[in-house]
A and B are shown apart, each in its own frame.
Chain A
Amino acid sequence: MSQPVELPDQIHVGTVIDESHSLASVSDKVGGIVLRRKITLGWVFGLLISFAVLQNLMAGATWLLLKGVGVWGINIPVGWGFAIINFVWWIGIGHAGTLISAILLLLNQSWRNAINRFAEAMTLFAVMCAGMFPVLHTGRPWLAYWLLPIPNTMSMWPQFRSPLLWDVFAVTTYLTISAVFWYVGLLPDLATLRDSAKSKTSQVIYGALSMGWRNSARHWQRYEKASLLLAGLATPLVVSVHTVVSFDFAVSIIPGWHTTIFPPYFVAGAIYSGFAMVLTLMIPVRKFYGLDDIITMRHLNNMAKVTLATALIVGYGYCFEAFFGYFSADTYEKFMIWNRMTGPYAPFYWMLILCNIITPQFLWSKKIRTSPGILWCISIVVNIGMWLERFVIVVTSLHRDFLPSSWGMYWPTIWDWAVYTGTLGLFMTLIFLFVRVLPMITIFELRMLLPGASVKEPVAQ
């Protein structure tokens, strides 16, 4: 493999790992969070809050199953409410994890090594939350297997020309491959935990999970090959998933949805919201677990730069959406964009412009990119902005389409909010559990960043 291109010093903000670290110290530090760190009150408090919020999902889903999807705010014309908004939002968040773990691996960006495990975990949890929504939106989740092409007594089959079926394939493939990639990456670190665990229980659990990994050079050679192949396969996969999600919209004939810009615009938006979520989670974790020597200013700076770059791509998408509406000479397209900017949902649209286009411009300043507090606030704003974007896309196109006689309005009900906040609770609960039971940083890849890890062969005698 070729060496990463060295940039001039003034572009760097510090190093990718504190220079005082050694092979042993990184293992002990990251492994120690799982094995030796006492359970703190803050962690218990956070977990309890998240778990309490997760109960909203239980209540929301139970009421939904008892009463049917009528308890949600959806109606005709707006048949796709919170369920689709949140599905697209969550899937998008997941995309940053795969981008960091796969695309940056192929591009040889070694700074990714400190954040990829956490980002991949975030991907898995976000996709789990996302998957909940279409299944609940069917109204009869116990029949969800109808989505799969399996022989059945009705001798009916799914429609392979429908983007909704493509979604089933794309999302299940994405979840499977992300989980496999994540677990393969975990193997050597689980072995580290097994070897440094003191209690019998931890030794047995991590021993079983690590599958007897023994750091053999012959294993590493195949392991590296498999990792690269998985990264190479995951890279087009991540692009395809949000492309397929955007096809749900673009293949229809609804004004505002039927555009070819949707796939790239969705993928950029996904990476944008995903990086914002990585920042939202990593900044507190870095502080509470004292990891600023491993997740350095350089990481925050780089992630902020990716956020800014994708914000600009998304901004370009907004401009062209408006331009296409105007330039299409199509009454409905023109009306759609006008209605979006000045109609009943106009505040949502302008809020989204404020959150997604204006706010990230602060990231041009290096000072802001390297101040964790401000960066965290910006990341929250971007998360909200991307959620608003999904709301605007889904609702403003549907609520006033071709026939004024069938126009309507959509407002979420308390049960919409219950399910949505419930998935936030689920996501946070899983994150809280993850940081305590698995190494949240890829230890073996950190070792590769250390100056002592490169080969200086002694002179042959």
Chain B
Amino acid sequence: MSVHASEETLYGLMAEFETPGELVAAARKTRLAGFKKFDAYCPYPLHELDEAMDLHDNRVSKCTLIGGLLGCIGGFSLASWVSAVAWPLNIGGRPLISIPMFIPVTFECTILIGGLTAAFSMLIMNGLPSPYHPVFNVERFVNASRSKFFICIESDDEKFDRRRTEEFLLSLNPEEVAEVAE
């Protein structure tokens, strides 16, 4: 425990773990204990955590599908509008909307818009860029991007109680439990 923050300025309590196995087990117990507003921190994507924390956010995929479809429709419409409305060229009576010749542009637009949607929807749903976040106030948290594993239970969780939550976190056998100042 480094600094004793008052209840209002407390963002949450953070426990540190040594191995990914301990983190996954702790995350599962935290969820089963009824906490909703908590997060695990891991220096690389850990698929077991998705199951342990019951994470199944599919919105990025859905947005990408919509983006891709819009790109597809947009690309084809652009080619058709330009070739049939804005600048029609009658070349030996060939059709103005020449579908096979419009496929490459349609395809590239699908990929372009779909790909950009995938990247940007991920960033937006993750709330990035976020220049400040309370978890960075914990000194040892720099190791979250290197070699250590963390769980933070946030103080605005309904079940959060400073003393009992601390006892709960200590029962998970962490290396250390720290307060996270707002």
Q: Scan A199-233; emit 1 where CB is below 8 A from any B CB, else 0.
A: 00000000110011111111111111110011001
Q: Is the CB–CB distance between A195 and B145 below 8 Å?
A: yes
A149's contact among B19, B60, B64, B78, by CB below 8 Å, is which?
A: B78
Please indicate the chain B residues that have their CB under 8 angstroms from the CB of A236 in the complex: 107, 111
Distance, CA A233 to CA B115, complexed state (A): 7
Please give, as numbers and ranges, the residues of chain B lying within 8 Å of A455 by CB-CB distance: 20-21, 24, 46, 48
In the complex, chain B residues whose CB is within 8 Å of the CB of A1: 47
B160: interface (CB < 8 Å): no
Q: Once the chains bind, are A192 and B27 in contact (CB under 8 Å)? A: no
Identity of the chain B residue whose Cβ is nearest the Cβ of A216 in the assembled complex:
B39
CB-defined interface of A265-305 with B at 8 Å, one 1/0 digit per residue?
00000000000000000000000000000000000000000
Any B CB within 8 A of the CB of A97: no
Q: Which one, A342-350, A377-385, A445-453, is touching chain B? A: A445-453
By secondary structure, the B interface counts as helix
Q: Write out the residue numbers on chain B whose beta carbons fall within 8 Å of the beta carbon of A38.
A: none
**What residue in chain B is nearest A446 (Cβ atoms)?**
B44
- Stretch from A78-86, A134-142, A165-173, A360-368 at the B interface: A165-173
Please determine whether A230 and B60 come into contact, CB atoms closer than 8 angstroms.
Answer: no
Q: Which of B25, B55, B60 contacts A218 (CB 8 A)?
A: B55
| Cα of A192 to Cα of B141 in the assembled complex, Å | 11
| Contact string against A for B residues 36-47, beta-carbon threshold 8 Å, 1 for contact and 0 otherwise | 000111111111
Q: Give complex CA distance A323, B61 in Å.
A: 46
CB atoms of B82 and A149 under 8 A apart:
yes
Complex CA gap A400/B45 in Å reads 58
B126/A223 in contact, CB under 8 A:
yes
Across-interface contacts of B64 in A (CB, < 8 A): 226, 229, 233
Shortest A63–chain B CB gap in Å is: 34
A444 to B46, CA, bound (A): 11
Q: Which of A158, A180, A208, A218 touches B115 (beta carbons < 8 Å)?
A: A180
Complex contact A453–B44 (CB within 8 A): yes
Is A157 an interface position by the 8 A CB rule?
yes
Choice from A177, A207, A453 contacting B111 with Cβ under 8 Å: A177
* Main SS class of interface, A: helix
- Which of the residues A27, A159, A240 comes within 8 Å of B43, measured between beta carbons? A27
Instruction: Give B17 Cβ to nearest chain A Cβ, in Å.
Output: 10
Q: Is the beta-carbon distance between A176 and B128 smaller than 8 angstroms? A: no
Nearest-neighbour CB distance to chain A for B68, whole angstroms, equals 8
CA gap between A194 and B145 in the complex, in Å: 9
In the complex the two chains form, is B145's CB within 8 Å of A215's CB?
yes
Are the CB atoms of B44 and A169 closer together than 8 Å?
no
Is B168 at the interface (CB under 8 A from chain A)? no
Q: How far is the CA of A448 from the CA of B48 in the complex (A)?
A: 13
Is the beta-carbon distance between A166 and B105 smaller than 8 angstroms? Answer: yes
Which residues of chain A are near B133, meaning CB under 8 Å? 212, 214
Per-position 1/0 for A352-365, Cβ under 8 A of B: 00000000000000
- Which A residues touch B46, using CB under 8 A? 217, 220, 455
Structural contact, B49 and A240, CB atoms closer than 8 A: no
Closest to A24 in B: B147
Q: Give A157 to B142 CA distance when docked, in angstroms.
A: 54
**Beta-carbon nearest neighbor of A177 in chain B:** B115
Contact status of A222 and B115, CB under 8 A, knowing A211-B129, A460-B25:
no
CB-CB contacts of A152-190 with B at 8 A, as 1s and 0s?
A: 000111111101011001101100110011011001100
Contact with A along B137-150 (1 / 0, CB 8 A): 00000111111000
Residue pair B111, A445 in contact (C-beta under 8 Å) = no
Interface residues in B164-180 by Cβ distance below 8 A to A read 173
Q: Are A216 and B40 in contact (CB under 8 A)?
A: yes
User: Are A222 and B104 in contact, with the CB atoms below 8 A?
Assistant: no
B114 CB, nearest partner CB in chain A, Å: 5
Residue of A nearest to B78 (CB): A149
Alpha-carbon distance A195/B140, docked complex (angstroms):
10
Q: Which residue of B lies closest to A241 (CB)?
A: B108
| Complex contacts, A159 vs chain B, CB 8 Å | 89
A70 within 8 A of B: no
Smallest distance from the beta carbon of A210 to chain B beta carbons, Å? 9
User: What A residues does B118 contact at CB under 8 A?
Assistant: 226, 229-230, 233
Determine if B21 and A233 form an interchain contact, defined as CB atoms under 8 angstroms apart.
no
B44 to chain A, nearest CB (A): 4
> CA–CA, A163 to B101, complex, Å?
9
Q: Assess whether A418 is interfacial by the CB under 8 Å rule.
A: no
Q: Are A229 and B131 in contact (CB under 8 A)?
A: no
Name the contact of B144 in the complex, choosing from A212, A214, A445, A447 (C-beta under 8 A). A214
Given contact pairs A27-B43, A192-B145, A211-B130, A221 touches B55 in the complex (Cβ within 8 A)? yes
| Residue B86 at the chain A interface, CB threshold 8 Å | yes
CB-defined contacts of B105 to chain A, threshold 8 Å: 160, 165-166, 169
Chain B residues within 8 Å of A, Cβ to Cβ: 19-22, 24-25, 27, 39-50, 53, 55, 57-61, 64, 68, 75, 78-79, 82-83, 86-87, 89, 98, 101-102, 104-105, 107-109, 111-112, 114-116, 118-119, 121-123, 125-126, 128-133, 135-136, 142-147, 173
Given contact pairs A169-B105, A229-B64, a sample of 9 additional A-B residue pairs in the complex whose CB atoms are under 8 Å apart: A27-B43, A166-B105, A207-B131, A211-B129, A218-B55, A222-B125, A225-B60, A448-B44, A458-B21
7 A-B contacts (beta carbon < 8 Å): A188-B145, A192-B145, A214-B135, A216-B126, A230-B118, A455-B20, A460-B25
